[in-house]
Amino acid sequence: MACYLTTGKHMSLYWSFGTVLLLLAITAPTALVFGFGGAMAARSRILPLRWFGKVYIMLVRGVPDIAFFLFFVIALDQAFEWMRHQFLCPDWDAPIRQGNDFVVCAAAKLPLSTAPQWVHEVYGFFTAVLTFAIVFGAFAANVLYGAMRAVPRGQLETAEAYGMSRHQVNWRILIPQMWVYALPGLSNLWMVLIKATPLLFLLGVKDIVYWGRELGGTANPRFTDFPHGDWRMWYFLALLIFYLAFTRVSELFLERVMKRLTRGQATTGGEAQRRAGA
């Protein structure tokens, strides 16, 4: 059994857990940046920017997210190639969309067709991260937008009374205070992000779902030392338990963070803590 679980392919399976964690580690901050940008745009005083922010938030929420994942991966890929095409081959005169084909000059292909395999994989992973960041950025933008509006009006008015400019009010008063209000929403988002990671499979990254399917399938005695029947059920059961444990652990962790952050805040949670301590 120990021997079976340490074959080369199983090692790839264990590495793909790393892929998932890496995706989470990169996507979470990137999505937060996108969300911050979106929320700031939605609050902006410049009308087109405000529209852009609001449409960004609205659109991603109204449509099944999986459709977005499938859409953005192709759209982003084509956008990058199109930009490189404009830049690298300005004297190309054939149209880019020829019927059902998307044709760019060879130098603009991404990744270059001569590139080694790992570049292709890294590029695929990169587009996947960007897609996740765009979709979750919209969710985060929504949370942060709500949090910005939840900061007590009096705080901002006081700042204005002290003669701060709008910019100063934003950066010195509004943004430091909004995080407490945003945290429940953001931690909820983190759970959702964890549960969205199996969708990586749909974006063509070899993640745990891919390997679970590969390894669990009937193994033929001709090709492997460890023949077995269809074990995919057990592999997916293991994945199910992995996710369950992961969400449970983050739940406990976030609870502690929340407890730490509410300390001394003028919210009901902070008040309750103060009373319990006194």
Partner 1 sequence: MSCLQTIQDYGLRSLGLGERLLPRDNFTLCDQFVLIGSGMVWNVYFGVCALIAGFFLATLVAVGKGARNPLLRKPSEWFILVFRGSPLFIQFFFAYFLFLDLKGISPIFDAFTAAWLGALIVLFLNTAAYSGEIFYGALRSIPKGDVEAADAYGFSGWPRFRRIVWPTMLRLAWPAYTNEAIFLFHATTLVFFSGFPAWQQRGDALYYANYFADKTFNPFIPYPILAGYFILLTLCVIGFFGLVNRRLNRHLPGEARRRLRLRPNLIR
Q: Tell me if 4 contacts partner 1 by CB under 8 A.
A: no
Q: Tell me if 66 contacts partner 1 by CB under 8 A.
A: yes
Nearest distance from C-beta of residue 82 to partner 1, angstroms: 12
Among 84, 120, 228, 232, binds partner 1 (CB under 8 A): 232
Among 42, 196, 205, 215, binds partner 1 (CB under 8 A): 196
Q: How many residues of this chain bind partner 1 (CB under 8 A)?
A: 44
Nearer of residues 156 and 232 to partner 1, judged by Cβ? 232
Among 2, 94, 233, 252, binds partner 1 (CB under 8 A): 233
Q: Tell me if 144 contacts partner 1 by CB under 8 A.
A: no
Among 86, 158, 188, 224, binds partner 1 (CB under 8 A): 188
Burial 201-222 (b: 16+ CB within 10 A, else e): bebebbbbbbbbeebbeebeee
Tokens of 51: 């529209």
Burial 147-180 (b: 16+ CB within 10 A, else e): bbeebeeeebeebeeeebeeeebbeebbbebbeb
Nearest distance from C-beta of residue 26 to partner 1, angstroms: 18
Tokens of 168: 């100063």
Nearest distance from C-beta of residue 268 to partner 1, angstroms: 16
Spatial neighbors of 237 by CB under 8 A, at least 6 apart, are none
Tokens of 237: 């059961």
Q: Tell me if 199 contacts partner 1 by CB under 8 A.
A: yes
Q: Tell me if 216 contacts partner 1 by CB under 8 A.
A: yes
Nearest distance from C-beta of residue 271 to partner 1, angstroms: 20
Beta bridge partners of 101: 98
Nearest distance from C-beta of residue 202 to partner 1, angstroms: 6
Q: Which residues sit at the interface with partner 1, rule CB under 8 A?
A: 59, 61-67, 70-71, 74-75, 78, 97, 100-102, 139, 188-189, 192, 194-199, 201-202, 209, 212-213, 216, 230, 232-233, 236-237, 239-240, 243-244, 247-248
